[in-house]
Amino acid sequence: MQKILIIALLSYFTGFSQYSISGKLDPSENISWVLLFKIENGEEIYLNNSEVTDGEFDFKIDATEKPGILRAYYDIEQRQFVEFLFNKENVAFEFDPNSPMLSIAYKNSRENEIYRNYYTEIYGLQKRLDTVQMAYFSNQDQSLNAGLEKKYKENLKELKKAQSKYESLSNNTLAYHFIKASAQYNAPEPIKIPQEYLSEAKLHFFDALDFKDEILKNSTFLSDRMIDYVFYLNQAENMLAANDLQSQAIRDIEDKIALDPALKARFYQNLITEYLAKDNAVMAEKILKKYEQLAPEFQNRAFIAKTKEDLKTAVGSQAPEISWTDLEGQKTLNELTDYDYYVIAFFSSTCSHCQEEMPIFHDYILGINNLKVIAIGLEDENSFASYNTMTENFPEFINIMESEKWESHLVKSYGISSVPSFFVLDNEKTIIAKPGDVEEIMRLFGTD
């Protein structure tokens, strides 16, 4: 996903009934439409759309629209957008959709330019400071330490000067809130031991943030920073250790937002989404319990229902039961005991990818003695014949046909939205992986 914050903060003129948000994509990359959303309480709300003509698009914003962050999506499926802050003024910019961060340019937004210049300058200065700190970690020659310490302090002084300059330039604007909140803590002198450096970073991570700032709360800024704190400052070599570290990090944040249930609800929702994306069912369930303890008015029942469905097939969860009938009678997944691993494969005989991958998969498992495949064909009355023909070549699979296709109860139980889809289970029928294709399964079990 490509993403950039474009801050457009201009003075209010009461004489305008509408404001213009115009942009140009260069090259246009065959983009036909741009969709405009606003961010309100961390959520995207659709505003308008504009056709792209010769790479150009234009939106009209009603004068009653409140100042805040807007997003112009130029590829909604890939979530590619430019993000800017509307403050009761016309905004015009152009960018290359392949590299918006590097190419963005503004025509009539001084404050936008201030924020962009801030980002560019601060990023460069911070990178220089970090380079010295990294050298200080690895330096074994004590005679060089004094020089590194001096260089570090010089760079730190320059960084603080730049931060102060941009806070002054953006004073009394919405951009100021983001610039001030972006100030990163740096120790007054370089730290020799990496673990001490990490501890300092954690201790001071939120120094520049005001959790009561309504402008930050209405954007995604606070939410993004909280997620960064949990996941990027609290990593470990294994999941159990990472879960412990991240649980403490979550408690740290809960202490800071204890009196703000709306922000806490958003924090929990973001955590659950992240943990599900990482297939960490243990932490997703843990946070879901916290979320359900909030007052009802701060809960999203649809989100809770979807999360519970997703948890059924998250890595670490017990696979939903499957039953079928063969010549020996009624069988179930949980009754199978003869193998170390099981793969549940959803496919359809009319799916071109399935037609290509499933025969390869069947031939591959012939050399694996401790693996059994339960192949579930999603079919309808028009594909019964092709299913029977296809599965004649899969004698090593347990073949199950679901005649209701996408309405099948197994489709709903496993959350299937496309085929082929695969789930790898251990001998306890716990989901241990969800490979994207047959090649990934082959890498899991070895390709020899």
| The 3-state secondary structure of 302-367, one letter per residue | HHHHHHHHHHCCCCCCECCCCEEEECCEEEEHHHCCCCCEEEEEEECCCCHHHHHHHHHHHHHHCC
> Partners of 96 in the beta sheet?
none
> What are phi and psi for residue 87, nearest 5 degrees?
-140, 60
**Tokens standing for 246?**
């991240």
Q: Would you say the C-alpha torsion 329, 333, 335, 340 has a positive or negative sign?
A: positive
**Tokens standing for 191?**
């730290």
List domains and CATH numbers for the chain. 5-108 (2.60.40.1120), 112-311 (no CATH), 323-445 (3.40.30.10)
Q: Tell me how far apart the alpha carbons of residues 301 and 285 are, in angstroms, rounded to a whole number.
A: 15
pLDDT of residue 13: 38
pLDDT of residue 74: 95
Mean pLDDT of 269-294: 95
pLDDT tens for 319-349 read 999 999 988 899 999 999 999 999 999 999 9
pLDDT of residue 85: 82
pLDDT of residue 448: 52
pLDDT tens for 26-40 read 998 889 999 999 999
Q: Are 422 and 345 a contacting pair, CB within 8 Å?
A: yes
- Percent of the chain at pLDDT > 70 equals 96
Residue 14 has pLDDT above 90, yes or no: no
pLDDT tens for 54-78 read 999 999 999 899 888 999 999 998 8
Strand 105-106 with 91-95, pairing: antiparallel
DSSP for 199-223 reads HHHHHTTTTT--TT-HHHHHSSHHH
On the CB side of 136, CA atoms within 13 Å amount to: 22
Distance (Å) of CA 421 to CA 55, 151, 295: 38, 54, 38
**Residue 290 CA, distance from chain mean position:** 21
**Tokens standing for 334?**
């949980």
Q: Where are the alpha helices (DSSP H) in 98-187?
A: 100-103, 110-138, 142-169, 174-181
Task: Work out the pLDDT band at 2, boundaries 50, 70, 90.
Answer: very low
Q: Where are the alpha helices (DSSP H) in 233-327?
A: 239-256, 261-277, 281-292, 301-311
Residues 6+ apart with CB under 8 A from 46: 35, 36, 37
Q: Tell me how far apart the alpha carbons of residues 267 and 251 are, in angstroms, rounded to a whole number.
A: 12
User: What is the value of pTM for the model shown?
Assistant: 0.79
> What are phi and psi for residue 181, nearest 5 degrees?
-70, -15
Mean residue pLDDT of the chain comes to: 92
* Residue 137 or 141, more confident: 137
pLDDT of residue 1: 38
pLDDT of residue 111: 84
Phi-psi map region of 286: left, alpha, beta (phi>0 left; psi -120 to 50 alpha): alpha
Distance (Å) of CA 240 to CA 81, 282, 290, 318, 429: 36, 10, 19, 18, 20
Q: In what order do the strands lie in the sheet with 5-7?
A: 5-7, 80-86, 68-75, 33-40, 43-51
pLDDT of residue 89: 84
DSSP state of 268: H
Residue 267 has pLDDT above 70, yes or no: yes
Distance (Å) of CA 254 to CA 250, 291, 372, 381, 410: 6, 12, 45, 54, 38
pLDDT tens for 357-400 read 999 999 999 989 999 999 999 999 999 999 999 999 999 999 99
Report which of 335, 324, 334 is spatially closest to residue 397, judged by C-alpha positions.
324
